Amino acid sequence: MSETEVDIAETIDRLEEIAETLEDGEVDLTTAKELREEADDHLETLRDALDVGDGDIIEIDGEDAELERAE
């Protein structure tokens, strides 16, 4: 995996940690805000990593390539 690739499982684990911390209610407002901003960044990263575009699927079979619309 290159440095620019996202470790999806690791990112999800961090989001779960943030959610648990915020649900506990044991953090001050400043920390809660920082955690929320971190979570927003992680969510944006995941959206970008999992982006499937506009629903086009490219099927490559040998030398032939076919473009199909996902339903």
Residue 56 has pLDDT above 60, yes or no: yes
- Measured in degrees and rounded to the nearest 5, phi and psi for residue 66 equal -125, 135
Domains of the chain, residue spans: 8-69
pLDDT of residue 59: 64
pTM of the model: 0.64
Q: What angle do CA 35, 40, 23 make, to 5 degrees?
A: 45
Q: What is the mean pLDDT of residues 18-46?
A: 96
Q: For the stretch 34-67, what's the b/e string if a residue is b when 16 or more beta carbons lie within 10 angstroms of its beta carbon?
A: ebeeebeebeeeeeeeeeeeeeeeeeeeeeeeee
Residue 1 has pLDDT above 50, yes or no: no
